[in-house]
Amino acid sequence: MFSGKYEVFAVCIGLLVLLVISGCTTTDTVTGDTSLSDIKARGKLVVGADIPYGVMEFFDESGNPVGIDVDIAKEITSKIGVELELKTMPFDDLFGAVKNEEVDVVISAITITPERQEEMLFSIPYFDAGLVVVVVSDKKDINVPEGLKDKKVGVLKGTTGEDFALEYIDPSLVTSHITNEERKQALLNGETDAIVIDYIAAIDLIKEYSSLEIVGEPLNQEFYGIVTKIGNNALMDEINKILRELKRTGRIDEIKTKWMQ
């Protein structure tokens, strides 16, 4: 046993060691949140996406997933130091997949809304988007949004486009499609008069089909964010750190320019 000043000295040294150890401990350990360290240990980040969706995500001629969201996912996994595993599924299944931990994150043109923020953890915005109306060219005289009220309108199930349509249009006239392909074909075949879709996806659609065009002004302004399960704060902190770096260096702008030309 120490005595006198030596005992006090020993106690002080012990406290100093504890402070040093605490300072070296990762946030994951202190909070019990192992979302980031688990991914690093596993060596891969599982990302959910609904493909195709305009230039945000689609398959190239070789069947490989490409696009703005895919490139951003690759940047994130590269900087974390893990591999990317992409799981594709209908948009309406994405939120359940992240909540049930079937995927770690969703990077798939997900609009940030207060309602969704109550159920999932969102990153900072990485893309500025908005809803527009697309019609076949011979119906371009439709006034937006007032003229939609008596029209058959196609939307993608589970999206903010569906929310908008159901709020402003008779629900009996709204068709909620499971996939983008269904929504597009219904418009081209005349089964619907118009579709409500994100601007970025609309641009790509009218490039592919000259018979389609955007009418009116954007219905709103929306921002895309990356989604993970509530409680995965360590993972989201890292993603936000990476997104800020990609913005600061201009890398996100480079990715957008690459796919939007």
At 186-242, the pLDDT tens digits run 999 999 999 999 998 898 899 899 999 999 888 998 999 999 999 999 999 999 999
Q: What is the pTM of this model?
A: 0.78
In this predicted structure, the answer to whether residue 135 has a pLDDT above a threshold of 80 is yes
pLDDT value for 256: 93
Kindly calculate the radius of gyration of the chain based on its CA atoms and give it in whole angstroms. Answer: 24
In this chain, the answer to whether the domains covering 29-128+223-260 and 131-215 adopt an identical fold is yes
For the chain, report the end-to-end CA distance as a whole number of angstroms. 76
State residue 57's pLDDT score.
95
Q: What is the pLDDT of residue 16?
A: 38
C-alpha 227/C-alpha 111 separation (Å) is 10
pLDDT tens readout for residues 39-85 = 999 999 999 999 999 899 999 999 999 999 999 999 999 999 999 99
Residue 32 and residue 26 in contact, taking contact as beta carbons nearer than 8 Å: no
Range 29-128+223-260 has CATH code 3.40.50.300: no
Number of H helices, E strands in the chain: 11, 13
Tokens at 174, concatenated: 């709204």
Least confident of 3-7, 127-131, 161-165, 205-209: 3-7
Q: Is the peptide bond before 90 cis (omega within 30 degrees of 0)?
A: no
Query: 135, 108, 125: which is closest to 54 by C-alpha?
Result: 108
Query: Is residue 171 reached through a cis peptide bond, with omega within 30 degrees of 0 on the bond before it?
Result: no
Residue 163: is its pLDDT beyond 80?
yes
Is residue 125 pLDDT above 50, yes or no?
yes
pLDDT at 31: 67
The pLDDT assigned to 28 comes to 56
Residues 169, 147 contacting (CB under 8 angstroms)? no
Q: Are 80 and 103 in contact (CB under 8 A)?
A: no
Is residue 20's pLDDT more than 50? no
The answer to whether residue 2 scores a pLDDT higher than 70 is no
Rounded CA separation 231/156 (Å): 28
Domain ranges of the chain: 29-128+223-260, 131-215
Q: What pLDDT, on the 0 to 100 scale, is given for residue 1?
A: 41
Architecture per CATH, domain 131-215, reads as 3-Layer(aba) Sandwich (3.40)
Q: Which two tokens stand for residue 12?
A: 């002080």
